Amino acid sequence: EFFNDENISIPIICAVGEESFSQLQQNGEEEVIISIESNKDNENIVIRMNGKHEICSRNLLAMKSTLSFDGCDGEAQQPKSQAEKLAQRVVQRIGCISGATELIPITSAHIDAVTYIGQGGLRFAQRLVELDGKVKVPTTLNSQSTDRRRWEQLGIDKTLATNANSVGDAYLELGCAMSFTCAPYLLPNKPGLGDNIMWGESNAVVFSNSVLGARTEKYADYFDICAAVVGLVPNTGVHQTENRKPSIVIDATDFIEEHLLPQIHTDIVDEKCVYKSGIDSLFPAMGWLSGNLSDGRIPLILGFDLLPSVSSDNLKAFC
């Protein structure tokens, strides 16, 4: 849909399953010819590999929409450009696939897809520019693949640097701020408690949900800029209050009381508490441990309130 007037090849990734993959390995076929066709009702697609292995999968592009732009203001419902029209369609499809029944407005966005990974990602951003796309909410950018100014001094290949800067340039033309950071929560206009946002960078997603109390899913590359152009996301996942309730408690109280507090020596510098021990290592270790113990669940972490002071750098290391 984005590139219907361009003669380009689009790679197709097929999740064939363990059994079919084993069959392919056993046959020892180095080259796999894949044909894809939809059935009569267009609700499913049939994937055939080398004419032998057949897999039936749901046609996600033909799914009936379960949501609309009802509840959003009239201005948001009517696309102002072809780019917004296509982005709106992407957001609706993702919402349908994720089981959402409504879209909700966001107050800010952070784009993860700024890294140059090939011509496809570059053309995607450039295409949105060509179709008059503009972001609807304040939008920051992740770091790009190379230094925008000193790439030559750093010995970066000219072709890579040119492509990397072209990705950044395209997002700037879409109205994104010249931020280029993986830590948007350190910028002045960070979101607040209860704000619905759309952030894609992994550590920023954890920080926004856990520290700031803002609400965002871990959004995929390229969906992120579509949501920023539309200003809406599906109301699903941790955007919903019931999905933010903790289901596992990680209690570090005893460890902190028995092993950490007795060893803490602090000085007051400029009215701030400065630790004189190796307490800084606690936070990345607790972040790693909490992630492994939670295994996808929402954790409630106890014990940090016992510490004399917890800085934003500590919480950044934790996330």
Mean pLDDT, range 155-162, rounded to an integer: 94
**Of residues 87 and 20, more confidently modeled:** 87
Paired sense of beta strands 53-58 and 44-49, if any: antiparallel
Is 0.95 surpassed by the pTM of this model?
A: no
Q: Is 266 exposed, middle or buried (0-12, 13-18, 19+ CB in 10 A)?
A: middle
Band of pLDDT at residue 15, cut at 50, 70 and 90 = low
The mean per-residue pLDDT over the stretch 93-103 comes to 88
Residue 302 has pLDDT above 70, yes or no: yes
List beta partners, residue 269: 272
Residue 76 has pLDDT above 80, yes or no: no
State the pairing for strand pair 103-105/232-234: antiparallel
Eight-class DSSP state of 278:
S
pLDDT score recorded for residue 139: 97
User: φ, ψ for residue 289 (rounded to 5)?
Assistant: -65, -45
Alpha-carbon gap, residue 46 to 64, rounded angstroms: 19
* Residues 239-283: tens digit of each pLDDT: 999 999 999 999 999 988 888 887 775 555 555 555 555 677 889
pLDDT at position 75 is 46
More confident residue, 176 or 46: 176
Amino acid at 164: A
Which tokens sit at 301?
A: 């972490």
Res 74: pLDDT: 43
* 86: exposed, middle or buried (Cβ count in 10 Å: 0-12, 13-18, 19+): buried
Which of 69 and 183 is assigned the larger pLDDT?
A: 183
What pLDDT sits at residue 71? Answer: 47
Three-state DSSP at 272 gives: strand
Please state, for a pLDDT cut of 90, what percent of the chain lies above it: 55
Number of other residues whose CB lies within 10 A of the CB of residue 136: 21
Mean pLDDT throughout 9-15?
A: 59
Side chain identity at 156, as an amino acid letter? Answer: I
